[in-house]
A and B are shown apart, each in its own frame.
Chain A
Amino acid sequence: MRAYLLALIVVASCAPLRSGTETAAPGPAAQSAGLAAIDPLIETLWRDAKVTPAPPADDGAFLRRVSLDLIGRVPTLGETKALLADAGADRRARAVDRLLGSHEFAEHWGDLYADLLFGQERKAAKLERQYDPQSWLVKAFEDNRRYDEIARELITATGDLRSNGAVGFITARARGGGGPEAVTGAAARIFLGLQIQCAQCHDHPYDKRWKQEDFYGLVAYFARTKPKNEKITGDLGEMSMAMDAEMEAATPKKKKAKAMKTFVLVDVKRGEARMHRPHSEEDELVSPRFLGHDVAPRGEETRRQALARAILGSDLFAKSMVSRTWAQLFGAGLVEPWDDLGGENDARHPGLLVALARDFVASGYDIKRLLRTIVLSTAYARSSAGTEAGVTAFAQAGVRPLSPEQLFRSLVAATGAEEMGKRRRDPERTEKRLLQAFREYQFVFGDDEMAEANRFDGSVPQSLLLMNGELTNGGTKGDEGGVLGQVLAASADPAARIDDLYLAAYSRRPTAQERAPLVEYVKSQRNGRAAYEDVFFALVTSTEAITNH
């Protein structure tokens, strides 16, 4: 659903193909300032869980993981070789800084946050396609805006969706169905890490702290906010025109010319939260109340501005961001699930979460610094090899599925399909075909909210698309411009070629055991090029290539 521009797929695979020398993991000199504080806490976590940490991941595995997490695709063959050839002690920190500074980082995290904030309801998705509120998020990540400012704007924004993407959060949630209750549930989950929406219909079934009136106390802050659907008179916004033209091209017959509409978010003078108790005839009106404290608007403040003040003043605000970010980077939370923090100042919140949250606040809510701290930590650097016993205590990396966006962009980066296509036919047609393929991947590989990403366990249509689709079959051809073509041109030695294909698909070299049967295979086949295509195809469609680990 997210509109990625394919031009953003930076295929740097044309970097010189030389074999790098592997050296040990970087030493303490490469560590960032915040890091020293958290590694001992991680080691305590391991000791408490009585797990032996998995060995450190090698540079290639680290680069693959951190590229997927920060920029949403695997490294190209050239990028991997560059890191493997780098002997500098701070090479990982430099690689991380390069990724965090790239436009691809802003695009990928804008994408993740669009999913998180706007939700999955069909009407919300339609609104996103039309008005692209995601670009507001991309800009925020690009500029590394303070997280507290971003949150305040998302909670309090007013105005026309076309000119202020921040309006998108409340508008999409309210339009998605469920009104102010849906907005409240999303806001509490995202900005406080609370699953208080369970108390919408009755007192919270498991968490005795939350009563139905607590939920409606929060709903009351949104009771005077209305997303108005307004017809556009006069000039249409340029952005939405462009988006429409793109939609038109993709679905030629569907769209008829309809009057353009936009959404305008306004705060009105009246409106109350109405709570319906089970088995009761009449609704009760509930006043604004924040998790048991009276936080009323001061002076000219709107109810939403008062709420933003309360949220930003709660310890749960920074903790929920840290909890979610950790879960995004590890596939599992310090608190599980990440959005189940329970309540304010809870003594059960893990020390590591508390320390990271404190550091995050002290840094001025610096998102890039938080990411950098976590990805350069000793926990993030673990290998995924082993029996999975250590995964729960972050002593071993887990094996996780990729999102459709990560998968598509990774396949393009690993194979050089875009460059190959552009050499073969005109660039515009290549982009069009890639866009079609991308939509297909989005459709077939689905898209869930982050919280549900863990239960995602593959499907038959996905396997069929990988096995028989154009991107994998065409991308693994040995044509000019593609990665296989380059690999074949760079060396005539079968072992060196297989090594390069492993680096392209997995960002690592094969073991001797892995290499031998493949070398034997390519030697046994009459058509050499076709044999390498077969090998490359098997690699890029395998679980190792389509997961983060």
Chain B
Amino acid sequence: MAEKLYIEALREGLREEMIRDENVFIIGEDVGLYGGAFGVTKGLFEEFGENRIIDTPISEAAIAGAAVGAALCGMRPVAEIMFFDFFTIAMDQLVNQGAKNRYMFGGKAKVPMVIRGPMGCGTGAAAQHSQSFPSVLAHFPGLKLVMPATPYDVKGLIKSAIRDDNPVVFAEHKLLYWTKGEVPEGDYTVPIGKADVKRQGKDITIVAGSIMVPRSLEAAQKLEEEGIDVEVMDIRSLKPLDLQTVVSSVKKTGRVLIVEDDPISYGWGAEVAAGIVGSEAFDYLDAPVKRLAGLDIPIPYNPNLEKHAVPQVPNIIDAVKEVLR
């Protein structure tokens, strides 16, 4: 199987879906000739033309609104938000329209749209271009939210997201774009709403999402040298949330560390923690559920401070040891 970059796998998924279904189109800022701010759509303009790769003015509200409208009319738009931070501008269209329409029309209307964008810090882009807040969007009924962590998952999930008849928020992480992994040629999907055990282990379960998955895997590798056997679970979808897979893992290990890229307050890790404590896994817990997440601060510009704002591999290692005390 060929090794590909995350960004290539994502592009491949988009391209294959556009070939498969002529209703699929891409809309966003600089997604056309420029190929997107991070280069996700590079080459697609040349292949599919300006009618299916649509550049827009700088208005996320317009992008989201156009996508919701097109989806209601039977198209399958994939809207790109240049930075996840700008989802805030798209919120009204996305949350008050996109998320509601299918319910409010009694299921007669569908909103088969994807709205995607890169989140996260680590690039020195400062507070307004570094945020991760998938938990915010996962809060709204009517939206689905996935945040693939590997090249394999990003291709499979973008296909599932495009084929889904509901609005799906597709949260990428900037630092994942240039990570490598095996990606099969051709068509396959990864189901929305399924967590994935990325590494089997028996001593502790790390539940991680997005960029924290490769970081947790790296931590697990280092901990293995110390004889600590870590299971790493990629939560993969925040909505729907696959608690059952988490619960099964916790029943096996009895200890949990949840690692998030979001600021800790009201983050999805709290949802997972509550789910574990309220499930049959409770009787198997041998230590308090621990969360490791971003600090409750705007992401600093200073690169040293920026590093400390979200969990890094050594933090994960320390946290695992603390839970295993």
A-B complex is real: no
